A and B are shown apart, each in its own frame.
Chain A
Amino acid sequence: MNLTLKIWRQKNKSDKGGFKDYKVSDVSKDMSFLEMLDVLNEQLSEKGEDPVHFDHDCREGICGMCSLYINGKPHGPLQTTTCQLHMRSFNDGETITIEPWRATAFPVMKDLVVDRSSFDRIMQAGGYVSVNTGGVPDANEIPIPKRIADEAFDAATCIGCGACVAACKNASAMLFTSAKISQLALLPQGQVERKERAERMIAQMDAEGFGACTNTGACSIECPKGISLTNIARMNREYFSAVVSSENV
């Protein structure tokens, strides 16, 4: 395949940035999207040009590091991570526009690399459980119904990629935050900090400058892990009941 790539280039955080066009030829349909970018970068390196910077790590759809807003959608046309997207999803001769995630809370560091440490700070605000060290507890010591365990697990599959924020017209982090609150609120181990967690994680989410939720549902449709909107409803319940009943005046 031969492709034209329209890629966002930006030297650093304060640079204005802009699109630049590149041609890549002889791309295999079986390449992943990131491998296609590797090919481009090799060409650029050989020419002595600055390669296109983009985030990636595991390249097997589990770490959440890869990003990219491809042809108007986060992670491209399929509901998957960019590392799991293959060039067979595109046509020969196509022009592909590649942009970084756009959000105040995800500043562009260079080219397509954005700083997602705002997610880390939301987690640090309450995305943990108090576990005392000591002997290893017996498995299944605390009975948890299968249905609840499954629901918590579904929420826990969120890989923190930020596609929900990228997809949302308000750059809202509600889907991410609600998944992280849900995975703990559903389990007995999460009860200790339950109210505090909802209050603190949401306060941090707001402080980072993410937008509010208009319930458009774009986040869930674009989420590579299919995190459901029921988590956002649960987060709202957690938050409203926490603020009226907690001792945090």
Chain B
Amino acid sequence: MSWVTKTLNSTLGKKLLMALTGLFLILFLVVHLAGNLQLLLPDEGESFNIYAQTMANNPIIRVVSIGNFAFILIHVIWSILLTRANKKARPVNYAVSKAGTNSTWASRNMGILGTVILLFLIIHLRGFWYEFKFGEIPTAVYDGVTYKNVFLIIAEAYSNIAYVAVYVVAMAFLAFHLSHGFASAFQTLGLNHVKYSPLIQKVGIGFAIIVPALFALIPIVMYIQSL
């Protein structure tokens, strides 16, 4: 084994991959949210449709989006490797455990939280990303240019209360995942400092509340608009 594979196979190396991919996904969430909030603009989806098509045609965004899929995959696969190794390190559980007195629920259940997020991602990508790429999509014409009218597909989906519920619940799970994951990633990278760590903790909690809440707001508002 070379030193690179040896390092990535160590417990710390595995965590390094989790932290780096996790932080990239956090960055992605911000960009994704900024784009999605355009769905709420009162222009029948014009800005959103133009934005979606521009992004899809931009070669840099294409590379980043392939990277994004790869990072999700790495994050998921390594989370399975870690969770399995961690279970093996404690094969017999305690009969009585007061883990709640020494750690947060989210920090102890990252695997469960992540699994629900993964299920959501599959539904989400099947519903929108796949449709946008391969589905039959109505078009809209702005300033003489034809665009795919993804806004219509999304508005249609969000008029279904069950679909909206899935989104809102999934965002709650994401919130808990981030409430621990955000600050945890910095600690994994060794970035712990008296001056900055308290700030990172606070920003992490703020991020974990605000970002998923804004994501959840979009389907809720669009559902109300559809009534």
Residues of chain A touching chain B, judged by Cβ–Cβ distance below 8 Å, are: 6, 19, 69, 71-73, 97, 99, 102-105, 167, 169-172, 174, 202-203, 205-206, 209-218, 221-222, 229-230, 232-237, 239-240, 243, 248-249
Does chain A have a CB within 8 A of B3?
A: yes
A99 touching B95 by the CB < 8 A rule? yes
Chain B residue numbers with a CB within 8 Å of A234 are 190, 192
A236 touching B188 by the CB < 8 A rule? yes
B11 touching A72 by the CB < 8 A rule? no
Contacts A102-B93, A171-B89, A233-B191 given; does A240 touch B12 at CB 8 Å: yes
**One of A174, A214, A249 near B107 (C-beta < 8 A):** A214
The 3 closest A-B pairs by CB, nearest first: A233-B192, A211-B89, A72-B98
**One of B93, B102, B187, B192 near A221 (C-beta < 8 A):** B102
**Most chain B CB neighbours (cut-off 10 Å) among A105, A205, A243:** A243
- B107: nearest chain-A partner, CB-CB: A216
Q: 1/0 per residue B3-37: CB within 8 Å of A?
A: 10001001110111000000000000000000000
Contacts A215-B107, A216-B107 given; does A73 touch B102 at CB 8 Å: yes
The main secondary structure of chain B at its interface with chain A is helix
A71 touching B96 by the CB < 8 A rule? yes
CB<8 Å pairs between A and B, sample of 7: A72-B98, A167-B102, A169-B90, A216-B104, A236-B187, A249-B2, A249-B3
Does chain A have a CB within 8 A of B88?
A: yes
Residues of chain B touching chain A, judged by Cβ–Cβ distance below 8 Å, are: 2-3, 7, 10-12, 14-16, 82, 85-86, 88-99, 101-104, 107-108, 110, 180, 183-184, 187-192
B188 touching A213 by the CB < 8 A rule? yes
A104 to B102, CA, bound (A): 22
B103 touching A243 by the CB < 8 A rule? no
B92 touching A212 by the CB < 8 A rule? no
**Most chain A CB neighbours (cut-off 10 Å) among B82, B180, B183, B187:** B187
Chain B residue numbers with a CB within 8 Å of A229 are 187, 192
Q: How far is the CB of B7 from chain A (nearest CB, A)?
A: 5
B103 touching A217 by the CB < 8 A rule? yes
Chain A residue numbers with a CB within 8 Å of B16 are 236, 240
A246 to B150, CA, bound (A): 52
B103 touching A104 by the CB < 8 A rule? no
A229 to B184, CA, bound (A): 11
A127 to B158, CA, bound (A): 59
Chain A residue numbers with a CB within 8 Å of B11 are 172, 174, 202, 205-206, 210-213
A211 to B92, CA, bound (A): 14
Contacts A212-B82, A217-B102, A249-B2 given; does A236 touch B12 at CB 8 Å: yes
A205 to B99, CA, bound (A): 23
B108 touching A169 by the CB < 8 A rule? yes
Q: How far is the CB of A154 from chain B (nearest CB, A)?
A: 14
- A79: nearest chain-B partner, CB-CB: B102
Contacts A73-B102, A221-B102, A229-B187 given; does A105 touch B89 at CB 8 Å: yes
**Most chain A CB neighbours (cut-off 10 Å) among B11, B107, B184, B188:** B11
B90 touching A211 by the CB < 8 A rule? yes
